[in-house]
Each structure stands twice: as structure tokens, then as C-alpha cells.
Amino acid sequence: YMVLTGAPPFMASPLSEMYQNIREGHYPEPAHLSANARRLIARLLAPHPAKRPSLEHLLHDNFFTQGFTPDQLPAHSCHSPPIFAVPPPLGRVFRKVRQLLLTQCRPPCPFTPKEASGPGKDGPDPDSMEWGGESSLSAKAVPCLEAPIHLVAHGTLQSDLAGEQIPVPARGCRS
């Protein structure tokens, strides 16, 4: 729910009201999401745990299996990786993970956390991902990364329809 909407599903000012919403499965249904996304959220947030899908069933849900396979692919898809448009809530998560990984690096690392890109176009990130606190993470042995991690966060899944198209069945790359 949070990845798709950017907000938690159950919010209420008195804590007792929030718990009641959780027990009864009352949450705002975002109209801007696809029908498949809304159905998946409803299944995941079902009040009774036995009615929630298993991981195996989730992976076969229509949300993950329908609507993502184009009839044709552009020719450059055989030699260039796709660049995905990452929605702002997810982009902030990626930036925080990258920053966390870079700050865990100890000398003689070839790069420093200052090489991490700053906040994106949506401005500084007010969210905090300090579940266990940064001190609990730094106490763990984290291997030093040999090179910076580059997260692709710009672009689109849409292809240039003017270019040469490759039918989906012939997805093997040609030399």
C-alpha cells in the first residue's frame, strides 16, 4: 500500500480507532490505482490472516502477471537495459538504502558517502527509515563495497515507437 500510494493504509488520531480500522480492514481505497492493484491491496490487508495470500499466490496475482508484456520490443532492448521511472515514495527508499550502504563503507573504500546523489527533484526526504536506529546497523559487520551502487531512477518503460521493433517471441538478443 505504501509503495503504491506513499502513505500508510491505517491512519487515525486515537490509537484505538486505528486498531479498529486494522481489525475491520477499513482503509482509503485510492481511485488512481488500477483495479488489479486495488484487488491485491484488499487481499493483502484482509482482516483475517488465513484469507491473505501466500507468497506463491502473490507472485501469480494479476497485478504482477498482466499488462506488462508489450507486443513488440524496440531493437535497442537487446543491448541496452531498460530505465524505469521510479515513483517518488519508492525513489526515496532507494536513495535511503544507497546512502545507508555508502555510510557503512569503511576505509580503504574507493568512494565516500559524499558521492551519493543528493535528494531528487521532490526535495529533501523528510521520511526516516530508522527502524533499529543507525547505531544498531553500524554495530553489524557490513562488507565494504568495491564500487558505488548505481540505482537507475530515471526514464520510462515506454519505447520509441519510431524505432525498429522486435516481436516478443524473438526476445533472444541478436549480434
Q: For 37-50, how does the pLDDT look when each residue is reduced to its tens digit (9 = 90+)?
A: 999 999 999 999 99
Contact (CB, 8 A) for 86 and 104: no
Which ranges of 79-138 does DSSP label H, i.e. alpha helix? 88-103, 134-138
Report CA-CA distances (Å) from 2 to 6, 38, 113, 170: 5, 13, 27, 37
In sequence order, what E strands does the chain have? 72-74, 165-167
Domain boundaries, the chain: 2-65, 88-138
For the cut 70, the answer to whether the pLDDT of residue 54 exceeds it is yes
Q: How many CB atoms lie under 10 A from the CB of residue 39?
A: 14
CA dihedral 22, 23, 24, 30 (to 10 degrees): 20
Task: Please tell me the CATH superfamily of domain 2-65, with its number.
Answer: Transferase(Phosphotransferase) domain 1 (1.10.510.10)
Task: Provide the percentage of residues in the chain whose pLDDT is more than 70.
Answer: 54
For 84-142, how does the pLDDT look when each residue is reduced to its tens digit (9 = 90+)? 666 677 777 778 877 877 776 555 545 444 444 444 444 444 443 434 444 434 444 44
- To 5 degrees, how large is the angle CA 18–CA 24–CA 28? 65
pLDDT of 70 reads 67
Burial state string for 7-34 with b = 16 or more CB within 10 A and e = fewer than 16:
eebbeeeeeeeeeebeeeebbeeeeebe
Three-state secondary-structure class, residue 116? coil
- Side-chain-facing half-sphere of 42: CA atoms under 13 Å: 9
For residue 23, how far is the Cα from the chain centroid? 27
Query: Are the CB atoms for 44 and 33 separated by under 8 Å?
Result: no
